Structure 1
Amino acid sequence: MTAITPDALLTELHKAADVVASQAGKLTEADVTASSTLPGWTRGHVLAHITGISNAMARQLEFADRGETVDLYDGGHEGRTKAIEMAAGHTLAQHRADLDSALERALRAFDSLDAAGWQAPISYRGGVVLDGGAALWRELVIHTSDLNTGLGPETWSRTFCEQLFGFLAARVPEGQKFVLQPLGLPPVSIGTGNRSTVINGMLTDIAAWLAGREPSLGSLRASAAADGVDLPELLPWPSGVPITK
């Protein structure tokens, strides 16, 4: 899995921002309070989260530009959750305005980077700005699908899915290795254990399953030692926000 370059990532961020803004622009007032694909979350919750992570990542870059670091969210995981709950019930007009402002702020921060800026340290996962950009790309693409407006994981690009495989290797339990076998594509191995499970299916379905979303193009099949088995359990999502409880 090849690491994405800053130029390619910047292009993908702009594409993803355009798509989520376009989908938000199609919503009605009633749609905001309707269910998303995430249990317990309305579309308003999803919009509030996309706005929140866009602002949070923009802030990471703004501090990095001054040679400083700052927590991803004020108040950590609890602060993140509280902010989402408070904003979820906003009107459609408020959601659109907040989302547009947050996306513009984030893209402006990424657009202004020079080569050194992409490698500036940030607090998110103890990484650098490039890691933050990849995280925002994931958030925009995945949560656009969570809005439940008709753009599910089947719309995810090959490049995105392959980048997701690398990040979500952290979900492979200790002692296990997953051999991901997308239909018509080379296999990808994630995890370092000795117990191998082969996962067969469409590329986007495998990516959706790893991301905790529902595969939409067909069934996935798992096998170990040539025998069919249940899909393995996954570890929690590798969050960049410390969870204390």
Structure 2
Amino acid sequence: MIEHLIREVSAGLAVAGEDLKAIVKGLDENSFSEPTALAGWSRAHVVAHAEGISRAMQRQVEHAVRGETIELYDGGYEGRVQAIEARAQRDPLLQKEALVAAVDDAVGAFEHARDHWEAKISYRDGTMYDGALALWRELVIHASDLDAGATSRDWSDRFCHYLIDFLAARVPEGTALKLHPLGEEPLTIQGTLDDDGAAHTVVVTGALQDIAAWLAGREPVGGLEATDTAEAADTVDLPELQPWPAAVAPG
């Protein structure tokens, strides 16, 4: 694996971990029950999930360096849901401490095992490198989900470009999205072709971070404009996206 990619993702992971920890430590304990933009999830649920995925990725690493693989979550999807609910009921101070410890341990596990990033893990039947990218996504995106000062506008350009590439799987069938991030060259991501082997093109224009946030299912901070080339470039609604490419599916 190319060393500079490992260094880049490792650095991004470390920064994301520090940012999320700082935000969580700064939360008013009385605000943990407040709702977030994630349906049915309070801040306590977001913190509980961030702790859970950190621990899950830590154990992916620990088994991978021994040449072993292990399920991402004990009990699969249902085990994940039950664990989030249980952790979200704890005292906010305990949640803060547990989140900080889990993030430190997970980020540290990846850093200490950088020579093994090509080792196989069960997550998406991939490698430790894939796991590091996944934890990077989780830490960055959920920091803004907490609605505690950080927004998607804080996401780095490098992270946004990576996220757009990862979320190309959400482009609807028969559609090509020509993305026009302001001040950058356009790029195109495409869904599967329709039965005729064709795809119509929708142009989406706006800030890079807002495009990435929309693809991630988050409300963009700024506006996005969509035009359909098949409709003489008339302004249209943003297309309905496919589901997030989940690694743990409901049972």
User: TM-score interval w.r.t. the shorter chain?
Assistant: over 0.9
Q: Counterpart in 2 of 1:221? A: 225
Q: Counterpart in 2 of 1:162? A: 161
Q: Counterpart in 1 of 2:249? A: 242
Alignment of 1:87-126 (within 5 A): 87-115=87-115, 117-126=116-125
SS of residue paired to 2:117: helix
Equivalent of 1:231, from 218, 221, 238? 238
Partners of 1:48 and 1:87 within 8 A in 2: yes
Q: Counterpart in 1 of 2:152? A: 153
Q: Counterpart in 1 of 2:179? A: 180
Report the Cα distance in structure 1 between the residues aligned to 2:105 and 2:96, rounded to whole angstroms.
14
Letter in 2 for 1:206: I
Q: Counterpart in 2 of 1:205? A: 210
Question: How far apart are 1:144 and its partner, in Å?
Answer: 0.3
Question: How far apart are 1:188 and its partner, in Å?
Answer: 1.5
Letter in 1 for 2:216: A
Instruction: Give CA-to-partner distance per residue, 1:181-225, whole Å, 9 cap, x none.
Output: 111111111115421111111111111100000111x21111111
SS of residue paired to 2:235: strand
Report the Cα distance in structure 2 between the residues aligned to 1:135 and 1:236, rounded to whole angstroms.
17
Report the Cα distance in structure 2 between the residues aligned to 1:119 and 1:100, rounded to whole angstroms.
27
Instruction: Give CA-to-partner distance per residue, 1:58-111, whole Å, 9 cap, x none.
Output: 111111011111111111111111111111121121111111111121122111
Q: Counterpart in 1 of 2:47? A: 47
RMSD (Å), alpha carbons: 1.5
Report the Cα distance in structure 2 between the residues aligned to 1:140 and 1:83, rounded to whole angstroms.
18
Question: How far apart are 1:243 and its partner, in Å?
Answer: 2.2
Report the Cα distance in structure 2 between the residues aligned to 1:4 and 1:178, rounded to whole angstroms.
29
Letter in 2 for 1:224: D
Structure 1 residue ranges (4+ consecutive) displaced by more than 6 angstroms after TM superposition:
none
Identity %: 47
Partners of 2:6 and 2:114 within 8 A in 1: no
Report the Cα distance in structure 2 between the residues aligned to 1:186 and 1:62, rounded to whole angstroms.
41
SS of residue paired to 2:201: strand
Partners of 2:170 and 2:245 within 8 A in 1: yes
TM-score where L is the length of structure 2: 0.92
Report the Cα distance in structure 1 between the residues aligned to 2:124 and 2:173, rounded to whole angstroms.
20
Letter in 1 for 2:234: D
SS of residue paired to 1:119: coil
Deviates more, 1:53-62 or 1:3-12: 3-12
Unmatched tracts of structure 2, length 5 or more? 194-198
Unmatched tracts of structure 1, length 5 or more? none
Report the Cα distance in structure 1 between the residues aligned to 2:140 and 2:154, rounded to whole angstroms.
9
Partners of 1:33 and 1:89 within 8 A in 2: no
Question: How far apart are 1:4 and its partner, in Å?
Answer: 7.4
